[in-house]
Copies of this chain bind each other. A is one copy, B any other.
Amino acid sequence: MQWTALLAFVSLVVSPAVGQTFQRLGTCPTLGCVFPPDQTDFLSGQLFDIRLEVHAPVNGSEAAHRGVPDEKFSFCIQQGKGSCVDAAKYFKVSQPHLEKWSFSYYEDLFAEEAKQSTVVNVASKAYRALSLTDPGTYTAKLKYYGNTETVATWTVRTPNKKRKAKNVLLFIGDGMTQPMITAARLIAHKSINGKYQSLMQLDQMDNLGHQMTHSIDSFITDSANSATALYTGKKSSVNALNVYADSSKNSFDDPKVETIAELFRRIYGGPLGIVSTAYIADATPAALCAHTRDRGQYPAVVFEYLNSAEALNSTLKWPTGCQQPDVIFGGGAEQFIAGSGSPNGTDYYKAFEKKGYNVVYSNSQLQRTSTNQKTLGIFSVSNMAKWVDRHVYPENLKNQKNSPTGDGSDALDQPGLKDMTLKAIDILHARSKSKNTGWFMMSEAASIDKMMHVLDYDRALGELLELDDTVRATIKHLKDIGEYDDTLIVITADHGHGFDVFGGADTKYLAAQTDDRKKRSAIGVYINSGLSGYTVAADSKPNNNTIIYGTEGPNFPVTWNPRYAYAAGFGANPDHREGYTINTKGPRVPATTQSGEQRVNPVDQPQGGTIPVDESQGVHSLQDVSVFANGPGADAFRGVYNSVDIFFKLADALALGGAKPSNNDNDHDNHNNGHW
């Protein structure tokens, strides 16, 4: 199937050059750009594209070369201390054709306000679907404007050749930080005199690590490019899925990198599972398979699940892909129901059925369905229902008109992350048996992030507790089917939110006050924070009698609405102003006594404000996130490392490194013919 009508959905107004506050092109500080850029690490044999760009800013502070980019640039690859060989010759491919375009951007906020955009003319070439197999250092040199050079150092890491893990199960708690795990433990696990009587499953994992989540060109990341880092070992830009962001308008011609799911499929051909509580075209699931500068290209994401990146644009060689994942479970019916959200406007449930998929629309169907076939489970329009609503406030599931069938009814019978994950394991297990390939699955608790964005901490923690319960149940289930000892389980996040608990709130007293400032007296800090009110039954009946409270799990709050609640926020501060400049005169005094109260210090920071007034939600934060791991290869996840290292640790556990590209795959001789 060719990608024709779908092009109507391709955004032609991608803003490629924003950064600090606006950058010309984040990963290209000079006028000559090499993608993959300097400091890139590759898995031996991993496929990637190369994009070269030469920039000629027409106006602005970098204006140069009368706006005419050098079209005669050259590009060579030097392996180790060898000589630098022209890239086409080095990779044994024909010379790529020259491409030309222009783009514009604002140099800073003053320029934006004055509508003074900077125009940049570009000359470019791209090489498609290359790979490097020999471990070591490579120097890629772009020469332009005479003797100007942009030099990128690339490293092919020495791959692990002995496969440790038969199966890999990667859980992603989207946006999940240690402060959230701490808060979830507080509300769901009983404590006596400061000692928890039970612990989170995450607390009990064998290995603990931290990963750094920043983007390649900004320190705060989104879920698209952080998933790219986890799955490909390459940092990228906000909104990018498995490509480096170039400056061209087309969202699909940016230089691609191969994901761990594609590698697993290409090398072993084992079953692949994708599970998420988000709409299934959302960034974290999409990043296993899709390649685009713009995570918002949802129809294309779903198209790529079923087909491939190369099918999306046959002029761009990309001989790898997810090859129809064996399990796809999540929300997002709007990409399947024939209409504006589906690929080419067609019924995409049917498209999946034609390729041999079982399609299920409810938890009941999911539980009943056979484990032998490829299975697509779409359980709602948009994101799936939250644990709190499914279990504590089920009335909220009504009047949503979000049935995945598109018939306008309510999706009342939705599975949870645990239901989806355990069924996915059964399908992957059944489908990998005959070939003994093992399997790879990603399972995402997406709404930790989605609920944190809207400051709905309770629902976010409910989702986190469901993730923890899912991990606990997964370990038990893997033991039951005899696969636990062969399965690497990794749980991590893709970024954080600046959430933390800072006290307790007497919600009864707070509700009784009318004065805004007096309401704040309801917050107890330090010793007045008290104990968790969530683990004891309230005077009224517990919200849900089916919740078992014990040391064996599941552990959820007994009461979600106690009088003494945790007081949490994206912030806990007195009145103050914020200028983000250092106090050059000495330690800061944010608030002072005025009329007997602490109010904003009039001689504190001269400016004020938090995030832009056009933001409706809280935003991501910088903090390192935790990594928990059990199973073969799990000890590699200890300590502190970069997010991209997760990919290499996973790939090493599976011995995915060392494979020649697919047109030479008879050279891949290091994993017993790809089988476990």
Complexed CA–CA distance, A517 and B454 (Å): 20
Contacts of A560 in B (CB 8 A): 582
Q: Which of A149-189 contact B (CB under 8 A)?
A: 177-179, 181-183, 185-186
Contacts of A522 in B (CB 8 A): 21, 109, 607, 609
A528 touches B195 (CB 8 A): no
A455 touches B590 (CB 8 A): yes
With an 8 A cutoff between CB atoms, is A11 at the interface?
A: no
Complexed CA–CA distance, A37 and B247 (Å): 65
Q: How far is the CB of A24 from chain B (nearest CB, A)?
A: 12
Q: How far is the CB of A489 from chain B (nearest CB, A)?
A: 15
A620 touches B525 (CB 8 A): yes
Q: Which of A498-539 contact B (CB under 8 A)?
A: 498-507, 509-513, 516-533
Contacts of A623 in B (CB 8 A): 177-179, 182, 500-501
**Which residue of B396, B451, B509 contacts A109 across the interface (Cβ within 8 Å)?**
B509
B578 touches A525 (CB 8 A): no
Specify the chain B residue showing the minimal Cβ separation from A499.
Answer: B498
A586 touches B219 (CB 8 A): no
Contacts of A39 in B (CB 8 A): 192-195
Complexed CA–CA distance, A561 and B582 (Å): 6
Q: How far is the CB of A500 from chain B (nearest CB, A)?
A: 3
Given A621-B500, A624-B181, check contact A574 B456 (CB 8 Å). Answer: no
Complexed CA–CA distance, A285 and B215 (Å): 40
B607 touches A580 (CB 8 A): no
A193 touches B619 (CB 8 A): no
Contacts of A529 in B (CB 8 A): 20, 218-220
Complexed CA–CA distance, A44 and B331 (Å): 56
Q: Scoring A residues 604 to 641 as 1 if CB is less than 8 Å from chain B, else 0, what string do you get?
A: 00111111111111111111101000000000001110
Given A26-B527, A182-B623, check contact A235 B193 (CB 8 Å). Answer: yes
- A side interface size, CB within 8 A: 160
Specify the chain B residue showing the minimal Cβ separation from A564.
Answer: B20
A218 touches B569 (CB 8 A): no
With an 8 A cutoff between CB atoms, is A94 at the interface?
A: no
**Which residue of B531, B571, B585 contacts A569 across the interface (Cβ within 8 Å)?**
B571
Q: How far is the CB of A452 from chain B (nearest CB, A)?
A: 11
A573 touches B574 (CB 8 A): no
Complexed CA–CA distance, A38 and B190 (Å): 14
A210 touches B212 (CB 8 A): no
Specify the chain B residue showing the minimal Cβ separation from A592.
Answer: B616
Specify the chain B residue showing the minimal Cβ separation from A588.
Answer: B456
A510 touches B609 (CB 8 A): yes
Given A19-B531, A523-B611, check contact A624 B178 (CB 8 Å). Answer: yes
A569 touches B610 (CB 8 A): yes
Given A18-B528, A576-B455, check contact A612 B388 (CB 8 Å). Answer: no
Given A212-B196, A500-B496, A525-B620, check contact A570 B573 (CB 8 Å). Answer: yes
A523 touches B622 (CB 8 A): no
With an 8 A cutoff between CB atoms, is A51 at the interface?
A: no
Contacts of A583 in B (CB 8 A): 456, 458-459
* Given A191-B214, A451-B588, 15 additional A-B pairs, CB 8 A: A109-B521, A178-B210, A182-B623, A194-B217, A208-B210, A219-B501, A237-B527, A450-B587, A455-B588, A498-B572, A507-B579, A518-B613, A573-B610, A575-B613, A598-B615
Can you identify 6 A-B contacts, CB atoms within 8 angstroms? A396-B586, A498-B569, A498-B571, A520-B609, A520-B610, A522-B609
Closest 10 CB pairs of A and B: A571-B571, A20-B530, A498-B500, A194-B235, A179-B623, A520-B609, A238-B527, A501-B622, A505-B580, A456-B588
